[in-house]
Amino acid sequence: MESTERLTALLRGRGAEGIAHPGGTLDGHLERVQGRLAALGLSLSVQLAGRAHAVYGTQGFDVRLLADDERPLLTGIIGPAAEELVRRYGACDRDATWAELATTRRVHDRHTGAVEELDADQLREFTDLSLVNEIDVAEHAPGFLEEHGAYFRRLTERWAPVLSPAVLAEARWAFA
């Protein structure tokens, strides 16, 4: 798959193999997230976004592999829809967004304070990617479920109406 190969080369060229992350390295985490999204039947666009989801840093993992002015580079590899999902995921202010996301459909940008309202497809892709990422972290970070499991069980049920059925089932199993 050309896009995946090009993206893998970019991530590794930017040092993802040498950045520690629960379960080993950031590169390993990104690969697992992409693989799980594929196994759950999500689109190639969402799979590629899953592989790149942390390139601009995130609220929970603020290590950047790409600068904002390099968005066209990523867009050229994974396409505009996947890149926009990556940008949105990285910029999300989780505290202001996650609890009411399923009802408000609004994502708050932690950098600018801007608020974006998502359509149904964008919302499903965003919530699917977000929970699949957290599932991987839960599986690889000792103590994660003990500390955060109850929160993610509640979040899964809040998001249940907007998640894809496969991700909902996976999240219920993972956070049980």
Domain that holds residue 72: 2-174
Q: What is the mean pLDDT of each run of 10 residues along the chain (176 residues)?
A: 92 97 95 98 98 96 94 98 98 98 98 98 98 97 96 98 98 96
pLDDT at res. 60:
86
Distances (CA, A) of 51 to 14, 105, 106, 157: 14, 24, 24, 25
| pTM across the whole model | 0.96
pLDDT at res. 62:
85
Query: Domain count of the chain?
Result: 1
Q: Which residue has the tokens 């592999």?
A: 65
Helix (H) or strand (E) holding 158: helix 144-159
Q: Distance between terminal CA atoms of the chain?
A: 34
pLDDT at res. 165:
98
Please give the Cα distance from 14 to 41 (Å, whole number): 28
Q: Which two tokens stand for residue 159?
A: 């998001």
